Structure 1
């Protein structure tokens, strides 16, 4: 199984996960499950809130008061034996590990795949000394993935109407589409 995953967080250093979204697929990339959950958090850095627009008050409302601990069994069950795929996945895994370890559990991904790192030498975006790591929008552009198609796919998959960049659902949906396109173009084996 594969899990395409993204988080929105309380900051850059492992604090808390404010939103966790993922798509569970089989080996042929058929979607088996779409998961999205907002979580109440103890704090939110201003810089993080400026990026994703989530404040403590907004999260309290969107989460109905749920915290990460309320979904840990389901999340661990979905992630345990899966390949975890993400754009800058090491960042997301650091936060997952921190959340899970606070609850006395341990999480080590079976295997991980980072679309950002994988496509750096494929996209060949000029950087200061080497190629720079592509942002998700740059990867979409390289693979000729239309943001409107990504938006439509995300709305259908997650059953939501208001979604955009820096919403973990959108980033997960677009990353899934980019991964599929990368497989079709044989950039990913």
Structure 2
């Protein structure tokens, strides 16, 4: 394999906890160079040699696995594909623990440095997307990246690759990118392709569109987490565990085990549960109301997290809303200070480069992503439901038309 590349990967699994009965059921690797160019995309279903777990979450059907290789069948090829590359994933802790367990089970462990020196786009969001939540959807919305076939390994890996390329564009002069690639290339442990190549097996169809129920929508709107890496990794697993609003006894036991592995004691995990629930409630109140069905959903989550009813009752009370006159003003009535970050979205009447040049000349700073530091989003359609617009509205950032840009901001 060619060296000096990123191996952006994603896995779909039968459950949340490796090392026991949960296994990888699908894996994808998108190779990308330092310039953000996609070199190739490889993906296959994997026979987990057990039932598929919660099929509603990953959308894989049992009939698709009839001719799928086992992970042991794939181990030699995966060594070749990963050798000499920098591994990247969104929530790398989750994928790396599954990969490590699978390679150990296959009797072909990976070099320890490979996963330990990888990049996590979820953790990197704290550097490049201040204010964003931890979900892949939330980070992609900041850049307006569409996730095609979300919750498939190939679809999520492809979106993560684009996300990484946007990070590199924001921080193009950082020598760390090339240093990591050079270090990985020098540590390559496989030089030649395997003699017997495995033919990938794909899904018979794209994952069925999953209804985005209340909890699913909330977890993409949670605020940036400012705790430790171990705490965030725990909460990322909790996001996945609660999406179907059910925790099996096995999942409860494994969450306790995971907390211990991450250095969290029982009281620390309970405090995280309280904070997590309160963040969900605040996200639920964003539109100004929480319906009876939504309250039932939240109470279900509270029970699953072992929280007391008094905390739940207090949390579900209508929150006091401070008047924010500045944010309530229309774009034309609020001051966009010189030096402010301005984001553009949509196909506009004038070329993007012309608009960016005009903004620069007027003393504003064009920016590619929505963060809490952005002062204005200019949209071809101010009523757009794009990811960028959704993020802007969540943050209270005004959304203005291209006409406003020329007649007011740049007049």
TM-score bracket for this pair, using the shorter chain length: 0.7 to 0.9
Tell me which residue corresponds to 1:106: 109
Q: List aligned pairs for 1:1-189, cutoff 5 A.
A: 1-14=5-18, 15-44=22-51, 46-47=53-54, 49-55=55-61, 57-61=62-66, 64-107=67-110, 108-110=112-114, 111-125=117-131, 133-145=133-145, 147=146, 150-151=147-148, 164-186=149-171, 189=174
SS at match of 1:183: helix
Larger Rg: 2
- State the Cα distance separating 1:175 from its structure 2 match: 0.8
Q: Could you report, residue by residue, the CA deviation over 1:118-140 in whole angstroms, capped at 9, with x for unpaired residues?
A: 10354333xxxxxx742111111
Q: Please tell me whether the aligned partners of residues 40 and 59 of structure 1 are also in contact (alpha carbons under 8 angstroms).
A: no
- State the Cα distance separating 1:50 from its structure 2 match: 1.8
- State the Cα distance separating 1:42 from its structure 2 match: 2.1
Q: Please tell me whether the aligned partners of residues 123 and 134 of structure 1 are also in contact (alpha carbons under 8 angstroms).
A: no
C-alpha distance in structure 2 between counterparts of 1:29 and 1:123, whole Å: 18
Q: Could you report, residue by residue, the CA deviation over 1:12-56 in whole angstroms, capped at 9, with x for unpaired residues?
A: 011311000011223333333211010112223643x2211224x
- State the Cα distance separating 1:169 from its structure 2 match: 0.7
Unaligned runs of 5+ in 2: 175-411
Moved more, 97-106 or 38-47: 38-47
Q: Please tell me whether the aligned partners of residues 182 and 188 of structure 1 are also in contact (alpha carbons under 8 angstroms).
A: no
**Aligned residue pairs: how many?**
164
Moved more, 74-83 or 132-141: 132-141
Q: Could you say what the CA RMSD is over the residues aligned between the two structures, in angstroms?
A: 2.1
Q: Please tell me whether the aligned partners of residues 117 and 133 of structure 1 are also in contact (alpha carbons under 8 angstroms).
A: no
C-alpha distance in structure 1 between counterparts of 2:129 and 2:35, whole Å: 25
- State the Cα distance separating 1:187 from its structure 2 match: 8.0
C-alpha distance in structure 1 between counterparts of 2:173 and 2:162, whole Å: 13
SS at match of 1:51: helix
Tell me which residue corresponds to 2:381: none
- State the Cα distance separating 1:105 from its structure 2 match: 1.6
SS at match of 1:44: coil
Larger RCO: Structure 1 or Structure 2 (Cα < 8 Å, ≥ 6 residues apart)?
A: 1
Tell me which residue corresponds to 1:129: none
**Which structure dedicates a bigger proportion of its chain to strand?**
1
C-alpha distance in structure 2 between counterparts of 1:9 and 1:32, whole Å: 25
Unaligned runs of 5+ in 1: 126-131, 152-163
- State the Cα distance separating 1:109 from its structure 2 match: 4.4
SS at match of 1:43: coil
Tell me which residue corresponds to 1:161: none
C-alpha distance in structure 2 between counterparts of 1:169 and 1:85, whole Å: 14
Q: Could you report, residue by residue, the CA deviation over 1:106-126 in whole angstroms, capped at 9, with x for unpaired residues?
A: 11243200000110354333x
State the TM-score, normalizing by the size of structure 1. Answer: 0.77
SS at match of 1:116: helix
State the TM-score, normalizing by the size of structure 2. Answer: 0.37
